[in-house]
Amino acid sequence: MAEDIIFQKMDEITIDWFKGVKEANSTLEDVFNEEKELIDQLIPDIKEIPLWAEKTRQALPWWGFEPCSHRWMEGLDEILMMIKDHKYIPTKTGRCGDTPSYVKNTVGRYLNALKKWMSAKKNDDREMAEKIQNMLGTLSKEKKTSVKCLIDLLESYLFDSRKDVQRLSESWKEKAAGDLNLSLLFYGDGLAGWLANSCGFKFLDSLEIYLQAIGGNRDKLPETRFVCNSQLIFAYRIDPNRFYVTHAYLWSLYVHLTGQNLDWLKKNKEYISGICASIFQVLESVHSDDIITRWLIAHFFSALKFWYMRMLNFSPRGHIPHYLQDVPEFPLK
């Protein structure tokens, strides 16, 4: 059957992408734990860890605050300001489940455009109308069923609870047997897994891939298999700033901890020196002899290094510029 061949190809691509990734990531937590022990050797010199510092340490990047989030970089900025101001601020920015309003607004525009396309009514949102037309082409019976499914699920996503979305998704999945287009949309985690991970930066990109597949272009459909952390495979292609900004934070923290200055960054890391300057200036405003802050910045560095290495491990190395593969050593050995 045609769908069997397509599913087999999707599986082969998925397996090929993951070759070596699991092994490369397997040692990262061990390294992180070793660095944590070294950092905590500073604790004997600390009479008491203030509540704001402990809460900020708990808010540092880790599982649940990951670079696959839409607002990962904004989350890093918030941590930096907490350290500067010596004040913890409760936040969900960049955390699991954080789907910004601009993402939901874009989903709403797609939903409206799909309804207009189905009914052949004029859409005053000309930009979205043109995108939908280019992806879907002419209305047909096969496309109509798949688009109706997508409309139902997007509407439920915007207006109903997660449980309602899940139930509706299961209902549509049962109807997919014997319908190639629908089967493709639900293969693996499919639309259900995609909607459950709308906090990921690839969410809107995958929506376009689903629409292209309904329109007949299935070339990128295997990419929809990657949600949550695994979508980091596409981070550099879709949003290279995730690499540049995280890299800049990593090197700025390193230079601060090793007692070097901005001139060193300008000389040795010119490709990120602009953003390093803004990060480093904030770090320089912190008292260098403040052992609490130094302890916290060291934890920040270690957590960022863990995630940056995962970003590199997931990404096809040939796609990442060599200068972004330069990761600083842990500075407190």
The answer to whether 169 touches 176, Cβ cutoff 8 Å, is no
Q: What percent of the chain has pLDDT over 70?
A: 91
Whether 35 has a pLDDT exceeding 90, the answer reads: no
The alpha carbon of residue 123 and the mean position of all alpha carbons in its chain are separated, in whole angstroms, by 32
Whether 287 has a pLDDT exceeding 90, the answer reads: no
Q: Over the stretch 298-309, which tens digit does the pLDDT of each residue have?
A: 999 999 999 999
Q: Which amino acid is at 139?
A: L
Whether 128 has a pLDDT exceeding 80, the answer reads: yes
Whether 18 has a pLDDT exceeding 70, the answer reads: no
- pLDDT score for 14: 61
Q: Which residues of 220-250 are buried (b: 16+ CB within 10 A; e: fewer)?
A: ebbbbbbbbbbbbbbbbeebeebbbbbbbbb
Q: What percent of the chain has pLDDT over 90?
A: 61
Q: What is the mean pLDDT of residues 56-82?
A: 96
Whether 3 has a pLDDT exceeding 60, the answer reads: no
User: Smallest Cα–Cα separation from 236: which of 322, 309, 311?
Assistant: 311
The answer to whether 147 touches 117, Cβ cutoff 8 Å, is yes
The answer to whether 69 touches 201, Cβ cutoff 8 Å, is yes
| Angle at the Cα of 32 from the Cα atoms of 28 and 36, rounded to 5 degrees | 170
DSSP 95: B
Q: pTM to 2 decimals?
A: 0.89
**What's the rounded Cα separation, in Å, for the pair 210 and 157?**
16
Q: Over the stretch 164-216, which tens digit does the pLDDT of each residue have?
A: 999 999 999 888 877 888 888 888 778 888 998 999 999 999 999 999 999 99
Whether 157 has a pLDDT exceeding 60, the answer reads: yes
Contacts 24+ apart (CB under 8 A), 29-35: 29/306, 31/306, 32/302, 32/303, 32/305, 32/306, 35/302, 35/305, 35/330, 35/332
Q: Tokens in use for 321?
A: 């510029």
- pLDDT score for 161: 92
59 contacts: CB under 8 Å, gap ≥ 6: 65, 79, 82, 88, 91
Q: Which residues of 265-286 are buried (b: 16+ CB within 10 A; e: fewer)?
A: beeebeebbebbeebbebbeeb
Q: Tokens in use for 279?
A: 């990060």
With cut-offs at 50, 70 and 90, classify the pLDDT of residue 1: very low
Tell me what the pLDDT averaged over the chain comes to: 88
Listed by start position, the domains of the chain span 22-95+239-325, 101-198+202-231
Q: Compute the chain's Rg from CA coordinates.
A: 23
3-state secondary structure of 153: helix
- More confident site: 188 or 40: 40
